[in-house]
Amino acid sequence: MANKIRLLLLFVAILLASPLNAQFTVSSTPENTAVSDSIKPKSRLTIGGYGEGVYKYNFYSDNMFRYSHAEKYADAKGHGRVDLPHAVFMIGYDFGKGWTFNAEIEFEHGGTEAAVEVEAEETGEFEKEIERGGEVALEQFWLQKSFLDSKINIRLGHIVVPVGGTNNAHLPSEFFGVYRPEGENTIIPCTWHETGIELWGKIKGWRYDVMVMPALNSNMFNASGWIHDGSASPYEFKVANKLAVAARIDNSSVKGLRIGLSGYAGNCFNNDIVTDGKSSKYAKVKGTVLIGALDFKYSQGGFLMRGSGLYGHLSDAGLISTYNASQVNSSQSPYPHTLVGKAAWSAGIEAGYDVFHHLKSTSKALGQNLYLFVRYEYYDSYVPVADATPYSWSERHCISGGINYRPIPEIILKAEGGIRLLRSQYNQEPWFAIGATWAAFFKRVKS
């Protein structure tokens, strides 16, 4: 493996030193930046971002025991909440001669002040301090070299992983709902970002992506979110005992249609500072995660439809569940200590129609849109191995509908009502939400 990595780095160094290069526009890869495909600034310095503000009312209890003791919460009162799901600020710069840079910092749910450390002087005990909720993350931080008019691009740094429909299109202007699609956002990391190396390019109606990165950490897998938390690291570094590969290909040859295939493969067991290298019980455990996904977008006139499907498999799920349950279970431990399924899947589709489409004075002259939409999702975050404890609440259907009003191109006001349908022994979960979102450049400075 070490020799392969050295050869890969040597190959990258030769390519980066090559005189073949092309000028690159900071926003020419909208799937991995904070702007839409319709905005392509020509300036060298670009500042922008996106954000969401939400009010939601759940007409059900979200008590942690609402599934294990459903009968106690059948008549529970609902509750309201306000949230800032994402506030992202982006800066990009075109150095010229094919060299570009991009960075994004993301504040989720208002930010956080938290850390986990292992105290060596206290027999390896975990210590954690939390002063407020939320997350702050450097979502992107990469340097790129482009060749042959962006047909070939090499990107090094912290990058969005191009797997699934939501990671590929995660701006609030790229989905109808007040929140991101629930299925993918539950079972895989969204937005998924890792430090690695990516090769991507565009050739006519095709786009390709191949990325090498640290593998996920199986110690962080669980029943309610499958591998969702596996990309997280509670430490001030990301463990990289194992490497993984992600790939994606998109085609836009048919007018109004984009369709994409993506996948991930990596061995995730023992990819942590806490490992098991001696026990014969776990000697052959690899914890291979395999993911395959398909997503599409179709637009014709005032009609817009998006959809995605994703299936994932985890080898050795039974032994990984046993191993995770055996980890140090202190109040400061970052591990969930729960079962994890051998598989998980999600499928969803949303469709909307712009009622302003035929009102030329509104939709074209004023640049306004009013979409009426419906959405359906089905997902299961936990398919157990044989003889493991079943959690039938992990299988869910989600139905919703609402409106998107775009008064100007950069702003969308959203309203959505829906219900999460579980099996009959559980209480159903209806809700209503409104949101205000934006995605735009703040400033463009010409060279």
Q: What is the mean pLDDT of each run of 10 residues along the chain (447 residues)?
A: 46 40 35 42 82 96 88 90 94 94 91 56 54 78 94 96 96 96 96 96 96 96 95 87 97 97 96 74 93 98 96 96 80 78 98 88 72 98 94 96 95 98 95 97 62
Domain count for the chain, please give it: 1
Q: What is the pLDDT of residue 126?
A: 59
Q: Are the C-beta atoms of residues 427 and 396 closer than 8 Å to each other? A: no
Q: What is the pLDDT of residue 274?
A: 72
d(CA 168, CA 152) in angstroms, rounded, equals 19
Q: For the stretch 298-320, what's the b/e string if a residue is b when 16 or more beta carbons lie within 10 angstroms of its beta carbon?
A: eeeebebbbbbbbebbbbbbbbb
CA atoms within 13 A on the CB side of 50: 21
Q: Are strands 343-354 and 411-421 parallel, antiparallel or unpaired?
A: unpaired
Task: Say which CATH number the domain at 314 has.
Answer: 2.40.160.10
> Per-residue DSSP letters for 270-305?
T-SSS---S-GGGTT---EEEEEEEEEEEEETTEEE
d(CA 338, CA 234) in angstroms, rounded, equals 17
Q: Are the C-beta atoms of residues 323 and 278 closer than 8 Å to each other? A: no
Using omega within 30 degrees of 0 as the cis cutoff, is the peptide bond preceding 362 cis?
Answer: no
CB atoms within 10 A of CB 2: 6
Q: What is the pLDDT of residue 15?
A: 39
> Which H or E run includes 5?
helix 2-17
The residue range of the domain holding 395 is 2-445
CB atoms within 10 A of CB 118: 15
